[in-house]
C-alpha cells in the first residue's frame, strides 16, 4: 500500500507535565524581568547608541520567547517538517538543511538546525518534548542526510550519499 504524502511520518507534541509547566512559567518570569530591567535602563540613557541597544534588546527578547522557546508541535513528512509555534508555523524542507548542532544553556537544551544557505538557525528546545520522541526526530534527520556538526570528525560527503541511497 502506498503511503500518503499528506500523512505525517512522525509527530512530536509538547509534553504535558508539572515540570514542563513550572519551567514554562519560570521562563516567562525570566523573560519579563529581563524585559523590564535591562532594556529600560538602556532606553532611559542619554545617548542614542544606548537607546538603539535597548530597542534591539526588546525585539530580541520577544523573538527569543516566541521564535525559539514556544514550540507547540513538530510534524515530520516525507520531504519536509512543520514547526508550529503559538503565533506562526514554519515549513522546513530537509534539502535546505545542512547539519544540526546541540547547545546547552541555563534556559534549556537546544538543537539548532543549520541551513545550507546563510540564515539564522532554527532552535528547538529539547526540554519541551519527550526524550524518546526527540531521538526519533534526530534519527529521521540523520536518515535524510543531516548529521551532527562536529569539529573533530570530518564527514565524507560521498560516503554519506552512498549510505542514503542504500
In the block, which residue shows the cell 535546505?
A: 96
pLDDT at 1: 41
Domains of the chain: 10-165 (2.30.29.30)
Give per-residue burial for 43-62: e unless 16+ CB within 10 Å, then b. eeeeeeeeeebbeebbeebe
Rounded CA-CA distance 65/27 in Å is: 9
**If you ran DSSP here, which 8-state letter would residue 95 be given?**
G
Rounded CA-CA distance 24/142 in Å is: 29
pTM above 0.75, yes or no: no
Close Cβ partners of 47 (under 8 Å, ≥ 6 residues apart) = none
For the segment 46-69, what is each residue's pLDDT rounded down to a tens digit?
888 888 888 888 888 777 777 667
Q: End-to-end distance of the chain based on CA atoms, in angstroms?
A: 21
For the segment 87-142, what is each residue's pLDDT rounded down to a tens digit?
788 899 999 998 888 877 766 678 888 888 877 788 888 888 888 888 899 889 88
111 — phi, psi (to 5°)? -110, 125
Amino acid at each position: 500500500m502506498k503511503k500518503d504524502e499528506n500523512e505525517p511520518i512522525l509527530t512530536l507534541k509538547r509534553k504535558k507535565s508539572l515540570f514542563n509547566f513550572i519551567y514554562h512559567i519560570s521562563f516567562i518570569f525570566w523573560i519579563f524581568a529581563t524585559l523590564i530591567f535591562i532594556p529600560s535602563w538602556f532606553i532611559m540613557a542619554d545617548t542614542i547608541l544606548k537607546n538603539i541597544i535597548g530597542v534591539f534588546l526588546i525585539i530580541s527578547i520577544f523573538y527569543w520567547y516566541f521564535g525559539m522557546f514556544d514550540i507547540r508541535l513538530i510534524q515530520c513528512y516525507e520531504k519536509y517538517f512543520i514547526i508550529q509555534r503559538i503565533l506562526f508555523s514554519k515549513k522546513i524542507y530537509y534539502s535546505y538543511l545542512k547539519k544540526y548542532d546541540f547547545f546547552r544553556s541555563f534556559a534549556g537544551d537546544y538543537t539548532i538546525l543549520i541551513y545550507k544557505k546563510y540564515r539564522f538557525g532554527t532552535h528547538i528546545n529539547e526540554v519541551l518534548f519527550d526524550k524518546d520522541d526527540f531521538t526519533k526526530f534526530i534519527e529521521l534527520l540523520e536518515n535524510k542526510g543531516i548529521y551532527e556538526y562536529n569539529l573533530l570528525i570530518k564527514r565524507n560527503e560521498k560516503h554519506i550519499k552512498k549510505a542514503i541511497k542504500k
